[in-house]
Structure 1
Amino acid sequence: MLSKASPGAFDVTTHATAEEAADAIRDREAIGGLSVAPTGLTVQTAAGAGAPYSALLKGIGAHLAASGQHVTYSELAPLPQDDPAGSAVTTLGLPLIFGGMASAAALVLAYRGTGLGRLAGVLAISALGGLAATAILQLGFGVLEGSYWLTAAAVAAGIAAISATVVGLGSLLGAAGIGLGAVLMLFVANPLSGLATGPAWLPQPWGEIGQYLPVGAAGTAIRSAAYFDGAGAAHAWLVLAAWIAVGAALTLIPRRRPEETA
């Protein structure tokens, strides 16, 4: 039925039991599941992975229920009661980007210290930003769940990846580097991030490409921390670490000073 309704849209994996399917969903290896038993059909959803997937699977369940089948629903990664639409992760997009870019611009244009000093500033500002943003959303508004410290670390890593990259480009190219970093993060990484829906909802291969950019990787790490106890985020953490390392390398590249003329 899935293949007939949307040819090529779904990559279906069969599991021996409903428990195995549920484990795959909790480990972020699948967006949801349909468990068929003699007593009827169970629709397994994970709203934390992205609201569109849950709505799609519930629509399939409603269609089958209308045809006379007995359908039940099992939510494996529920959204907080105060955020039923799952918009909390989406709202972090601009703070991630502008927090990273603003701190980078300040460190490049206003700070006259060493490259190591700039990188220390990146890490300090990112840590404070991650702690503050997560405290506001989770402790203040109650729209995030899961480990506060792990979620804060994911937010901080996202800010650091963006900031370090822009600092590196700015240190290398000056104001032009900051502009290049802004274009990369705002007009490339942000649209391909899948923050609002999860990357699988985007046209492919663009959704997959977005997971190799800082905003998309940060979104995946944050979703995993907030709704899946950190599962399925290894790739995202590696991507964020790689961008931080690249930014650090660009920042620390020795540059020759122009020779003075008599």
Structure 2
Amino acid sequence: MDKTLPDLAAAVAGIEDGMTVMIGGFGGSGAPIELIHALIDRFRATGAPKNLTVINNNAGNGHVGLAALIEQGMVRKLICSFPRSADPVVFTELYLAGKIELELVPQGTLAERIRAGGAGIPAFYTPTSFGTDLAKGKPVAEFDGRCYVQERWLKADIALVKADVGDTLGNLTYRMAARNFNPLMCMAAARAYVQVTRIVAPGGIDPEAVVTPGIFVAGVVAVPNPAQEEDLNRAGAVYPEKAA
């Protein structure tokens, strides 16, 4: 039952062309930068994967992490709630050029669609987006005199997640706000691969403190000093680094 992986490359080795990939994080908080960069490394070495559908809260910032993944041309479609974040220049340019699709989802609805996918609930109703363009083509029903829009679950082939501490069985804890979408995505994906700051032996996490049980995790890899997206962007980082 040891789910420890030898390196980041092993964690992204099973991602194939056309898959749907959930990527955790709320901006830079809880974003698995190293896993994303490992996926870019694999693409540059092999030409795969591409034509991905990515589910994330936003559209990335600067030229690292999710933005770098998009910049490499690996993403066919993005499902997110906030594409106009601090510095979404990469996504914006590709979207205006018609080179990437966007499915815009209100943030609470996005979280609930992911949660529903993990809980086995194929659809639910919400008043959010009723009467707007986002509701076009979706079933609408009235409950107690108010109109609600039907939203479908979101599931994925793979989730890439950042946690704080994990044990060898895949049980996870998170650091403060980095928890955000990560636990939901572990549940909603067929396989979740997680970078953790520290791996401990079974029993090294108080059972009462476990947020994501190991049953939802396919593999954990240690990244003792994870990069923070905001720090990288302040330093003007670009991934992969361009040749001088």
Pairwise same-fold verdict (TM > 0.5) = no
For normalisation by structure 1, the TM-score amounts to: 0.28
**Higher helix fraction (1 or 2):** 1
Larger Rg: 1
Higher strand share goes to which structure? 2
